[in-house]
Structure formats: structure tokens, C-alpha cells
Structure 1
Amino acid sequence: MPAGVTTEGCPDSIHQMEVERDDTHSLKRSMSTMQLTMIGVGGTVGTGIFFILSEAVPEAGPGVLVSFLIAAAVAGLTVLCYAELASTIPSSGSSYSYTYATMGELAAFAVGACLILEYGVSAAAVAVGWSEYLNLLLNNLFGIQFPDALSAAPDAGGIINLPAVILVVLCMLLLLRGASESARANAIMVFIKIGVLGVFAAIALTGFNADHFANFAPEGMHGISIAAGSLFFSFIGLDAVATTGDEVKDPKKTIPRALILALGIVTLVYVVVAFAALGAQSAEDFEGQKASLATIVQGVVGSTWPGTLLAVGAVISIFSVTLICMYGQTRILYSMGRDGLVPPVFAKVSPKRSIPLVNTFIVSGAVAILAGLLPLGILADLTSIGTLSAFALVSIGVMVLRRTAPDMHRGFRVPGYPVTPILSVAACIYVISGLHALTLQAFVGWISVALVFYFLWSRKHSELARLQAQAENLTGDQV
């Protein structure tokens, strides 16, 4: 067991996780606070900011600035809960590991299924979006693009979405180089895309018109609240920070810091971009507008080059989001495999590269198939509900662990306990309640299939059950 770590009075599942982290085949701790913060920013500032304003501004008007702050506050409640559990139980499994430690195997397996939905499906979805932006960029720069047959799913008249598959392969190659190298590449992409958004804000502000803010909240708080609900999904990538528990230096301090820093950076970027966009264009013009950021700066400058620049930013943004989603997926499955809840091949670490090698190939293959053959709409539908369910259970886990292991060392404590985690759970339930009935039904179907797998396979191969049986046998022998 690592020095300075004690599991006295802890649930058996936490003790097991501490033992596993002392395994000689564990992942390598190599990431710094800055790299980890960039993972949070890279997994969050993605496709959303490039089109979300055309969805949210018609609902809230210029009051969308308040909507961003409300959504950030809701995300912040969950981030604080993540920070406490990450400082107590640093593990690669994120909310899966936290639920495992606080509520047991069955609840953890259900959360794991939610996270597989979140990371795997969203990785494929954003890869499909990348294909669209790449074609736009190639056409603007060189007058060429992938033919329809090789850039669309079969049901959309194509054969395969080849650019989406290429993106997944590129991300896989980066992941195979190791966590530190992937984090370094992601950090570079994050700085580039934030730079592009900064250029957008600078150009847009040259066309600033204060009159655009005159009718600040045309639909009152009702419209602001509705917009906040849709904007919440612009913050869901932050939990990728918590999947690095076995690969970051001094995780009990680094993960909470990175979570809070990433939330602050993301919120600042969103508010600045929204403010500049609203200053340059009246709220009425956002409705139904495609590629709104590119359209706005092209209108300010009177030229097409800003649109090309924004397309570059979108291509880089989506690349880094796909990379982080695939990284998170492999680490969730690594943790589940280590606990015996999915086949052990997912937990096998390459001694040479210190990464889950076979796991990475399997995840990349699955994501490539989804991205190449399915349309964006189908892939995107279930991502949000999986994320929100995991968020809610993390907040519940904070309260459970405070009761079951009150004396455990916590590098960070949620301020305003127990109000903060209760508000976090309530906020997640509120947003889930507004989702379409078909999405809820599909989610129930997915969880049902996952639970069948758990009862038929996982429960028989559980590492925790094996350790508990060994302990019972040892007690019987002593008696």
C-alpha cells in the first residue's frame, strides 16, 4: 500500500482499490496539474461552443450570459463532489470507482454502463462532426473534399464515413504512445483552439454594439433557465479529469485543483465568446443560424478568411475532444476489468508502454465502427443522460462515504456539505426530467442489458467477491 495511505475503517471495496494501486502492473504516474487541467478543458471546449449559441440565444436573448453562469454553477456543484472523492479515492475509474467504493458493485456496474455510453458513443459522435468540418475546411482551402460515399453513413447514402474513422485511428496512435504524450498533444491542441476562440472574440468586439443588449431577457428567467439546461451539456467533459487517478502525480491534491481550474477556464471562455458574439450580432439573428461564430466574424470583417480560421479551430477542437473521450473510455474499462466486472483483457497493462494496450485497440475498433457506419443523431441521443446519471451518483457517493468512513483522510472537502451534494443531485434530476421520452426509454433498455451481463458474468468473476471469500475462509481457519 502506498505510503501515507490508510484504509482503517474503510469499506472493503476501498481497501481493494488501494491494494490494486500497489500492483506492479499499474499505470505510470506521469501527468502534472497543468496537463490534467488541459485534459478537462480539452474534453469540454469542443463542438458545443461553435454552434450552441444558435440554440440558446433564441431562448434567453442576451440573458444567455446568465444562463452560462447558471450552467457553470450546476456543473460546479458536481465538480466539487468529484474533487472530494478524487482526493479520497484517486483511481482511473472516475465516477465508476467512486460508486464502487461507496455503494458497492451493482451500483458501480450501472454507472460503468453509463460512462461507456458517455465516452464511447460521444467519441463516435464528435468524430462524425469532425468529418463535416474537415470537408468544409478542405473545400475552403483547396477546393477538394471527400466524396459523399466516403463521408456519410450508409443510411445517409454513403458507404462509410472515412474521415471519422481516420480521426479515431489518429487518436488511437496518440493513445498508444502513452498517457503523458497524449496529454502533451492535447495541451497543444487546447492552446490552439482557445487561441482561435480568442481571435474570434477580438474580431467580434471590433463590431460591438451595446444596443444588442437592450432587451436583455425577452423571456425573463423562464427563458434563461431553459437555455441554462441546454448549455449544461457544454460542461460534461470535465469528468474526464477524474479518469486519470492512476496516472497523475500526487492525485489527492492534483485532481481537485485541475477540476476547479478547468471549470474556471471553460466558464471564462464561454462567457467571453458569448459576450463578443452578442455584441457583434443582434439576438434575433442567431435563430437557425449555422456555423454562427464563423458567420458573425465574416459579417464583421466582410471576408471569408475568418470562417476558414474558425473551421480550423473546430477541427482541432473536435480532435482533442475525441482523444479525451477515447482516453476516458479505456480507463473506465481498465478499472472495471481490474475489478473483475468485465473480461480481464481490459485491465492488462503493457509493461513497455505502461498503458492498457489491448483495451485501447478494442475501444478504438468499436468507436471506429460506430463513427464510420452510424449517423450523428443516433450517436448523440444517449450521451447526456449517461453523464447526468453518473454525476448524480457521484454526489450521492460523497454523502454515503461521509457516513460510512467519516475518518478517512480527504485532501479536499465539499464546502457547504450536505447542501452542495443535495443540490447537485437535484440539478441532475431536473435536467434529466427534461429529456425526450424516447431517450429515457433507450437508456433504460441499455441499463437492462448491462445488468443482465452483470448477473450472468460479472458477479461470478468479481474481484471483490473473491477477496471477501478469502477473508471469510481465513476467519474460519482461525476459528
Structure 2
Amino acid sequence: ADMLSGYGIYVPHAVARALSFAVAVALFALTLIGIKESAKFSVVMAVADIVLIGAMTVALGLALGVRTPPPYFSWQGVGAPDVLAGFSYASRGYTGMDAIGQLAGEAEMPLIQVPRAALLAAGMGAAYGIGLTALLMDRVNYQVVVMHPATAVLAIASSLPLGYLLRFPVGVIMALIQITAALAGYVAFSRLLYRLAADGLLPKFFASVHRRFRTPHVSLAVVLAMALALLAPGEIYLIADIYAIGSLVNYVLVSLSLIVEVKKGGLYGALRTPTIGGISLVGLLGAVLTSAGLILSTFTRYKELWIIALWALAGLALMLSSRKKGVGSIK
């Protein structure tokens, strides 16, 4: 609804909410059918993203040059609270990267494909992030971004020469990219539940596989139920904040686990992390930076912590119930 308002189209919140429910159900159906079908859709969206936003918006905007000098560009005089909020959002820039690891079970050569995918995604994310941030601070008023963060890329496209030609296709791609991100979340989170159940950390029914499609339909149904519950309030930014904070907690734990595994010599893969005294520098740096991001995100979004706490308690209850029942791993 916020994005459509940029085109002068005002959608009632009830209609927008119903549409979001329909998209959630459609994504459930797509992921239920299979990973290949989901991947094909994602590839098409990725190519369109690179062409329309990467090349025609970011690359073109940078080629035309910035109009105000860095590092502040046109955003001088921004207050300290907003700077802290900006740092917290910057720390979330790679939330969703964990989906690559969670989908390792779907890869034919995970020890090679997962590191390559992570490097490619991180490199493209950094290039996009730097370019978009520079253009945003140079061409778009700070208050506009604060009031309408979902349409920030659209505002950049509109500021370019012949930007009126880019407004519609960029807006469509932005919406489809968000749907693609949700699709990745469906697949990754359902596989995570499946893997935890297969390892005996969650009840076995989470590892149930559909007879025809061979996908974890129970875990997918749980993801759908959670998505609908979070969409019900109609606060999309609330969902983003919850997901971001939860992901940062996950990243801190992964960084600490990397340090432990490298120290034990139990890490296998196509890439090696540099070490000093047997301590992984990547893990150490990741733990420090993600912890800082987590603290900032918690500080700026402390009102949503009760939802995170309920989520954590629900997961803990499921894990403890599995242990009491003596659920073993699935061979």
C-alpha cells in the first residue's frame, strides 16, 4: 500500500492485508510443490533485479555522479538517535544470508556451492549497499526516507534523468523482490525445522515429508501459520524488526560456533578461515560486529523484545518436550 501510494494509488489496509495473506498462501503452495520450482522463480527475479535496479538505477546513478560531497552528502545535521538507528539497520543488511546454509541439504555439492553462494551474495550485497546508500543520501531527502523507507529505491529511480520511465518497472521489481525474499524465508525456515527434527531436537512430525512432492509439508504449514499470524496486525515493519533481531542472535551464535569448531579442527569445507593461535578471525570479527549490531537493534527496537522472548520460549519448550520423550535423530 505504501509503495502504490507513490503512484497515486491508495489501497485500503483491509485489501492490502488480504493481498498479503493471498501471497503467503501462494508461496506456501509454491514451496510445497518443490525446491526446483521455487528456484526458477527466484532466478528470474534475480536477473530482473540486476538489470533494473543494479544496472539501470545504481550503476546509472553512480555514473552520472553524486551532487553533494561525501560522507554526509545531503544528510547533514542528522541527530545521534537517527545515526544509531541507521547503524542498527546497517547491521541487518545481511539478514537472510543464513538461508544459504539452511538450504545446504538441497545442494548437490554443498561443501563447494554453499561457500560460493555466500561469497557471491555478500559481494553483491556490499556493492548494492554502498551504491544505494550513496545515491540515497545524495538524491533523496532524509525525512522522505524516514517516512517511507519501503519506497527508498523508487525515490532514487525517480530522481534520475528519465526517471519517470523507471518508476513503474522498478516498483514492480521491488515488490517481486520482497516476495522472493519471503519465498527464500519459507524454504529456509521449513528446512531448518526439518533438520532440527531430523536431529532429534524437535518433535518428529516436523520432519514429515509429503508423499508426492517430497517436501517437509508439516514444517511448511507451520511457517505459513506463523506468517499469517505476523501479517494479521498489518505492521510489516514489526515483522522486519522481529526477523532482523532474531537473525542477529542467530549470527552471533554461528560466529561463536565457528570459533569453537575451528579450534577443535572439526570444520570442513571448500574455504578456510584465517586463524591466529587457532582462533578463527572470521568468527571473532563476526561475533564482535554482529553483537554490536544486536545491541544497537535491541536498543532502538526494545518494544518488540517481548515477541522475541515468546518465540524463544516456544522453541525452548518444543526442544525440551522432545528431550523428555527421548526423540532420537532420523537416519
Query: Which letter maps to 1:213?
Result: P
Query: Which letter maps to 1:395?
Result: S
Q: What's the counterpart of residue 414 of structure 1? A: 273
The number of residue pairs the alignment matches comes to 319
Could you list the per-position Cα deviations for residues 182-241 of structure 1 after superposition, in whole angstroms to 9, with x for gaps in the alignment? 112101111112222122235535753444438569689x99887444212121111110
In the TM superposition, what is the alpha-carbon distance from 1:132 to its structure 2 partner?
4.4
Q: What's the counterpart of residue 204 of structure 1? A: 61
From the superposition, tell whether residues 401 and 330 of structure 1 become closer, same or farther in structure 2 (CA, over 3 Å).
Answer: same
From the superposition, tell whether residues 287 and 294 of structure 1 become closer, same or farther in structure 2 (CA, over 3 Å).
Answer: closer
Structure 1 distance, partners of 2:22, 2:266, is: 49
Structure 1 distance, partners of 2:92, 2:23, is: 23
Match of 1:447 among 312, 316, 325: 312
Counterpart check, 1:388 vs 2:243 = no
Q: What's the counterpart of residue 31 of structure 2? A: 175
SS of residue paired to 2:215: coil
Correspondences of 1:93-108 after superposition (within 5 Å): none
Q: What's the counterpart of residue 309 of structure 1? A: 169
From the superposition, tell whether residues 381 and 413 of structure 1 become closer, same or farther in structure 2 (CA, over 3 Å).
Answer: same
From the superposition, tell whether residues 174 and 403 of structure 1 become closer, same or farther in structure 2 (CA, over 3 Å).
Answer: same
Structure 2 distance, partners of 1:323, 1:187, is: 12
From the superposition, tell whether residues 278 and 456 of structure 1 become closer, same or farther in structure 2 (CA, over 3 Å).
Answer: closer
Gaps of 5+ in 2: none
Match of 1:431 among 293, 303, 308: 293
Q: What's the counterpart of residue 347 of structure 1? A: 207
In the TM superposition, what is the alpha-carbon distance from 1:440 to its structure 2 partner?
4.1
Q: Is the 8 A contact 2:34 2:214 kept in 1?
A: yes
Match of 2:50 among 194, 201, 225: 194
Structure 1 vs Structure 2 CA RMSD:
3.3
From the superposition, tell whether residues 247 and 215 of structure 1 become closer, same or farther in structure 2 (CA, over 3 Å).
Answer: closer
Q: TM-score, normalised by structure 1?
A: 0.58
Q: What's the counterpart of residue 218 of structure 2? A: 358
Q: Is the 8 A contact 1:243 1:331 kept in 2?
A: yes
Could you list the per-position Cα deviations for residues 253-287 of structure 1 after superposition, in whole angstroms to 9, with x for gaps in the alignment? 111111111111111122233344455x2776766
Match of 2:114 among 255, 266, 277: 255
In the TM superposition, what is the alpha-carbon distance from 1:316 to its structure 2 partner?
1.2
In the TM superposition, what is the alpha-carbon distance from 1:300 to its structure 2 partner?
3.7
Could you list the per-position Cα deviations for residues 135-168 of structure 1 after superposition, in whole angstroms to 9, with x for gaps in the alignment? 548x66xx6x6544332xxxxxxxxx11101111
In the TM superposition, what is the alpha-carbon distance from 1:419 to its structure 2 partner?
3.1
Query: Which letter maps to 2:295?
Result: S
Structure 1 distance, partners of 2:164, 2:31, is: 35
Q: Which has the higher contact order (CA 8 A, sep 6+)?
A: 1
Query: Which letter maps to 1:337?
Result: A
Q: Is the 8 A contact 1:294 1:310 kept in 2?
A: yes
SS of residue paired to 2:201: coil
From the superposition, tell whether residues 169 and 377 of structure 1 become closer, same or farther in structure 2 (CA, over 3 Å).
Answer: same
Match of 2:21 among 162, 165, 176: 165
Structure 2 distance, partners of 1:399, 1:214, is: 34
Q: Is the 8 A contact 1:348 1:356 kept in 2?
A: yes
Correspondences of 1:70-149 after superposition (within 5 Å): 132-133=2-3, 135-136=4-5, 146-149=11-14
Gaps of 5+ in 1: 1-130, 152-160, 468-479
Q: Give identity over the alignment, percent.
A: 18
Q: What's the counterpart of residue 326 of structure 2? A: 461
Q: TM-score, normalised by structure 2?
A: 0.81
Larger Rg: 1
Structure 2 distance, partners of 1:351, 1:443, is: 34
Match of 1:368 among 205, 228, 242: 228
Structure 2 distance, partners of 1:411, 1:243, is: 17
In the TM superposition, what is the alpha-carbon distance from 1:323 to its structure 2 partner?
0.3
Structure 1 distance, partners of 2:220, 2:92, is: 26
Query: Which letter maps to 1:254?
Result: Q
Q: Is the 8 A contact 1:341 1:459 kept in 2?
A: no
